[in-house]
Amino acid sequence: MLNYNGIPRWKNVKSTEFSNHIWQEANSVRNAHQLQEVLLDSTPPNMLKEINKGLELAPMVSRATPYLISLIDWDNWINDPIRRQFIPIESEMEPDHPMSVLDPMGEQKDSPTPGLVHRYPDKALFLVTHVCPVYCRYCTRGYAIGTDTDTVSKQSLGPTRARIESVIRYLEKNSDIEDVVISGGDAFRLQPEVLTKVCSELLNIPHIRRIRIATKGLAVLPMKITSDHGWTNAIIDLADQARRLLKQFSIQTHFNHPKEITGYTTEAMKILFSAGVQVRNQSVLLRRVNDSDEVMLTLIKMLSDINIQPYYVYVGDMTRGAEDLRTSLDVAISIEKSIRGRTAGYNIPTFVVDLPEGGGKRDVHSYESYDRERGIATFKSPVISNSREYRYYDPISYLSKQGKSYWNFTAK
């Protein structure tokens, strides 16, 4: 199990406390001051100033569980792949790409009722809540997730009865919809009664065949599965209920780095796998986190070993405040080529770009054109539009001198 006793504030914390989701939630760290209280004399020099300024610029609030804080190598905190995902620091942030926006997928324009995204004919995304156990710097839903920041006023997506009812009525009426993703926000944040009510109602709609529960929880708070019996039993009961109806019910989780998989994860997965709950993983390709063949292959193999199926790797979305975490499309293409064939095909994830402005997910190899000098790739997405061309833009820092000067010119 994880050696969290190396963190000064928690050196006397018992393993029964650390393994409890309530203790983890109560001791989560939200700002530089709280982090300093946890690290005490081990606080790296300059850390307070770096984080305070980083948070002023970020569109996402910060929150990290003690579990995550314990996974960070504080002697090398600047380069640590866990720290980079959750704690912004000023000196590494890059100016946003001129084409970056707060809602890069254009979800709000594809939302027929608040908190429901209906873009593909047979699929819908139900944003039940706007809160998460942690907040990722690169979140694609910076327009709504978490609380307001210095730079963003968020759209409210709280799990109110009226909003939930309105989404369920919409799903009932649209008989083309077979597949519903319950997301947000994070389903770890839903009370078991709410989770059960929402999913049971959806399972009882005849045309809905598949439900996926989106949660990053397994990667950031795995002790919820082992210690929050109400939540875990709700998931297992829903999976049983779906199986009796010959429908699918699964969890979609979000691991990005091998360090996120520990003994706590293994214990959580033992419970879910032995109860027949299918778990798939969606990673985001992130610079200086998992943008190498070795790290990605190790992650995939470790996930496979604990019966989490690697499903997608997303190229980073063109959201604001996380440009230093994006890679070029070429990096994704190169890693995919390198790892394909190095383990069973069903455990090799599909590398996709979720196209800006609602073009949907496309295989990274399926571009129509790719101007590497200016970093502009074009894609078609016939399921969304037969005529439209969608563009993905590489980070400007990856471009040649000529490419950089092109963007300096057009950005004015």
Q: Residue 214 Cβ, how far from ligand SF4 at the closest point, in Å?
A: 7
Backbone phi and psi for residue 214, each to the nearest 5 degrees, phi listed first: -95, 120
- At its nearest, how many Å lie between ligand SF4 and the CB of residue 383? 24
Looking at beta carbons only, is 133 or 360 nearer to ligand SF4?
133
Least CB distance to ligand SF4 at residue 386 (A): 31
With left for phi above 0 and alpha for psi between -120 and 50, is residue 185 left, alpha or beta?
A: left
Decide whether 69 or 242 has the Cβ nearer to ligand SF4: 69
Cβ closest to ligand SF4, residue 217 vs residue 359: 217
Minimum distance from residue 132 beta carbon to ligand SF4 (Å): 3
175-204 burial code (b ≥16 CB/10 A, e <16): eebbebbbbbbbbbbbebebbbbbbeebbe
CB nearer to ligand SF4: give 74 or 135.
135
Q: Whose structure tokens read 């109602």?
A: 201
DSSP state of 20: -
Q: What does the alpha-carbon distance between residue 23 and residue 20 come to, in Å, rounded to a whole number? A: 5
CB of residue 185 to ligand SF4, shortest distance in Å: 6
Give the residue from 227, 336, 212 showing the smallest Cα distance to 278.
Answer: 212
Indicate if the alpha-carbon torsion angle 154, 155, 159, 160 is positive or negative.
Answer: positive
Q: Is 243 helix (H, G, I), strand (E, B) or coil?
A: helix
Instruction: Give the tokens for residue 376.
Output: 């502009």
Cβ-based nearer residue to ligand SF4, 124 or 339: 124
Q: Which is nearer to ligand SF4, 136 or 355 (CB)?
A: 136
Which SS3 state, helix, strand or coil, does residue 22 take?
helix
Q: Shortest distance, CB of residue 376 to ligand SF4, whole angstroms?
A: 26
- From the CB of 372, what's the least distance to ligand SF4, in Å? 28
The conformational region for residue 160 under phi > 0 = left, psi -120 to 50 = alpha, else beta, is beta
Q: Are 137 and 88 in contact (CB under 8 A)?
A: yes
Query: d(Cα 393, Cα 208) in Å, to the nearest integer?
Result: 36
CA–CA separation, 190 and 254 (whole Å) = 17
Sign of CA dihedral 182, 185, 189, 193: negative
Closer residue to ligand SF4 in complex, CB, 190/376: 190
Q: Residue type at 43? A: T
216 vs 287, beta carbon nearer ligand SF4: 216
Prior bond of 276 cis (ω within 30°): no
Cβ closest to ligand SF4, residue 332 vs residue 333: 332
Which lies closer to ligand SF4 via its Cβ, residue 36 or residue 183?
183
Q: How far is the CB of 267 from ligand SF4 (least distance, A)?
A: 21
Q: Minimal distance in Å, beta carbon 136 to ligand SF4?
A: 3
Write down the H helix ranges in 124-228.
Answer: 161-173, 192-203, 217-220, 223-227
- The DSSP symbol for 116 reads E
Structure tokens at 384: 């969304």
Q: How far is the CB of 213 from ligand SF4 (least distance, A)?
A: 12
Nearest approach in angstroms of CB 310 to ligand SF4 is: 17
Name which of 7 and 145 has its Cβ closer to ligand SF4.
Answer: 145
**Number of neighbouring beta carbons within 10 Å of residue 163:** 18
Number of neighbours of residue 244 by Cβ within 10 angstroms: 9
Residues that bind ligand SF4 (CB under 6 A): 132, 135-136, 139, 141, 145, 184-186, 216
- Residues facing 11 on adjacent strands: none
